[in-house]
């Protein structure tokens, strides 16, 4: 795993923008995996400002709340359109977000996996991380080999995200999420984490054992995984000085 520690969420997001902009220059028909939540907001805002060409890019979102219609203000669909898709020149047919209203969820999930394969697989997967180490909505004890499926949110995640819904009562209990195995299939991982409340989850994911109790720790097995952190999210890393040195002394050809 490559750990990139930055002073602020702004500078960290700037690095993520450069990584994605480079990918799109090298591969204009790239396939991106995308996340919702507060973490990637700056990334999306800055990508919009860069006026990149999205006309041939395909996207697959990680997750959607079960039972929410695409038009629901808290759905992943709405989030992505409002914060990103409506502001770039992406083709509607190239956008994929799990269908929270799917009648037959297992069949839908198999089809989502098939669509990812048919697109040639995900080139770069953007991730946030939950305070319990979840990626996508793969909560602790999720199989590290899991594929897209229905999951039940933990009380902690429902508490963490209640703000988006106004109250915990209004939050769905279930989600459709890409599995950890699905995420691991991406050719490159770009995980962003900001703020003190992510510091424990980040430290366990990077320096702890690989365990389904911290799903992000499974990324230790990914050959091209970058974690871009602000100072607060990196605060509990024991080897922070080493990661900083490595990043600052990279040869030019290796820099993002």
Instruction: State yes or no: residue 62 binds ligand F6R (CB under 6 A).
Output: yes
Least distance CB 34 / ligand F6R (angstroms): 8
Least distance CB 128 / ligand F6R (angstroms): 2
Instruction: State yes or no: residue 35 binds ligand F6R (CB under 6 A).
Output: yes
Contacts of 158 (CB under 8 A, 6+ apart): 168, 171, 173
Residue of 139, 160, 222, 230 marked active site: 139
Active site residue 63: yes
Residue of 99, 113, 132, 230 marked active site: 132
Can you state the percent helix, strand and coil of the chain, rounding each to 5? 40, 20, 40
Handedness of CA 164, 196, 159, 149 (dihedral sign): positive
Of the candidate residues 30, 109, 135, 234, the single one contacting ligand F6R (CB under 6 A): 135
Active site residue 168: no
Interatomic CA distance for residues 54 and 44, integer angstroms: 13
Geometric angle at alpha carbon 81, from 75 and 82, rounded to 5°: 90
Of the candidate residues 6, 36, 182, 217, the single one contacting ligand F6R (CB under 6 A): 36
Measured from the CB atom, is 130 or 179 closer to ligand F6R? 130
- Angstrom distances, CA of residue 64 to CA of 61, 105, 161, 164, 178: 8, 12, 13, 14, 10
Active site residue 10: no
Measured from the CB atom, is 123 or 132 closer to ligand F6R? 132
Interatomic CA distance for residues 114 and 109, integer angstroms: 9
Least distance CB 193 / ligand F6R (angstroms): 8
Per CB under 6 A, residues contacting ligand F6R are 35-39, 62-63, 128-130, 134-137
């Amino acid at each position: 795993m490559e750990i990139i520690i930055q002073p602020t969420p702004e500078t960290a997001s700037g690095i993520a923008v450069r990584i994605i902009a480079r990918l799109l220059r090298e591969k204009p028909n790239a396939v991106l995996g995308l996340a919702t939540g507060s973490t990637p907001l700056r990334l999306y805002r800055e990508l919009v400002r860069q006026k990149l060409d999205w006309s041939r890019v395909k996207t697959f979102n990680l997750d959607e709340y079960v039972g929410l219609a695409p038009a629901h203000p808290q759905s992943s669909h709405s989030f992505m359109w409002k914060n990103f898709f409506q502001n770039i020149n992406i083709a509607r047919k190239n956008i994929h977000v799990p269908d929270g209203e799917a009648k037959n969820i297992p069949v839908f999930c198999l089809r989502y996996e098939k669509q990812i394969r048919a697109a040639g697989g995900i080139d770069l997967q953007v991730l946030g991380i939950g305070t319990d180490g979840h990626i996508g909505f793969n909560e602790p004890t999720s199989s590290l080999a899991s594929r897209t499926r229905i999951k039940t949110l933990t009380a902690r995640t429902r508490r963490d995200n209640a703000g988006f819904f106004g109250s915990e009562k209004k939050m769905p209990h279930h989600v459709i999420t890409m599995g950890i195995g699905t995420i691991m299939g991406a050719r490159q991982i770009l995980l962003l984490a900001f703020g003190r409340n992510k510091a424990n989850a980040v430290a366990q994911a990077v320096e702890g054992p690989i365990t389904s109790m911290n799903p992000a720790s499974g990324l230790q097995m990914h050959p091209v995984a970058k974690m871009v952190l602000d100072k607060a999210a990196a605060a509990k890393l024991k080897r922070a000085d080493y990661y900083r040195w490595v990043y600052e002394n990279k040869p030019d050809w290796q820099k993002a």
